[in-house]
Chain A
Amino acid sequence: DGGITQSPKYLFRKEGQNVTLSCEQNLNHDAMYWYRQDPGQGLRLIYYSQIVNDFQKGDIAEGYSVSREKKESFPLTVTSAQKNPTAFYLCASSIQGFGQGETQYFGPGTRLLVL
């Protein structure tokens, strides 16, 4: 988990509420990612960013939004349009985000629960 911090560890969302998950890295990596983990389904990519002020949708972007204003930070907002947000959210980073053999390093995760 070293070098990537996520907060909070647990987050509770009320009906119709937007919530934001924080991800910060001090690894000087260009690329950052958000994955969602559900039991028995592995991890699925929500959004990724290879450079500041640019990001791309992953496989399950609907109901989520991101920003990349600083190299170190890649916050994820879970909007009210995401009807099934309960999951474990993992942020990751890699050096450049272009090479197929590039290792992604993960943060400790945020567990989002719906009240």
Chain B
Amino acid sequence: AQSVAQPEDQVNVAEGNPLTVKCTYSVSGNPYLFWYVQYPNRGLQFLLKYITGDNLVKGSYGFEAEFNKSQTSFHLKKPSALVSDSALYFCAVPGGGNKLTFGTGTQLKVEL
């Protein structure tokens, strides 16, 4: 079964510092991988996805993600964090039945 894991429930980072939110995957075949962000009491917003090609994927709001096949990882990154980036981040992979299988989420807190 296709699955993703987000090993950190929460990540704290100071504003202006680089941030990384981790995701590892377990899929058969070529992986398709997604990142979404959720602000409190809101729906999920699509950030970026990896289908094939360049291992560095650029997305919305200055976020990017690095696909690493040997480490089966797809970490989300941003060079300089903003307080407004504080939110819940989900990694996802397509599963059976047209669903997206989501990780349990990582709460990002950016502090002044």
On A, residues with C-beta under 8 Å from B are 1, 4, 6, 31, 33, 40-43, 45, 48, 50, 56, 58-59, 88, 90, 92, 97-98, 100-101, 103-109, 111
- Taking the nearest CB of chain A, how far is it from the CB of B57, in angstroms? 12
Would you call A48 and B43 a contact (CB within 8 A)? no
Interface residues of B (CB under 8 A from A): 9, 32, 34, 36, 41-46, 49, 51, 90, 94, 97-100, 102-105
How many residue pairs between the two chains, A and B, have CB atoms under 8 Å in the bound complex?
A: 64
A45→B99 contact, CB < 8 A = yes
* A41 → B minimal CB distance (Å): 6
With A40-B104, A48-B97 as given contacts, are A109 and B41 in contact (CB-CB < 8 Å)? yes
Other-chain contact of B32, A50, A90, A101 (Cβ < 8 Å): A101
B44 with A106: CB separation less than 8 A = yes
User: Most chain-A Cβ atoms within 10 A of its Cβ — which of B32, B43, B44?
Assistant: B43
Of B9, B90, B100, B102, the most chain A CB neighbours within 10 A belong to: B100
Q: Are B97 and A58 in contact (CB under 8 A)?
A: yes
Return chain A residues, CB-CB under 8 Å to B32.
100-101
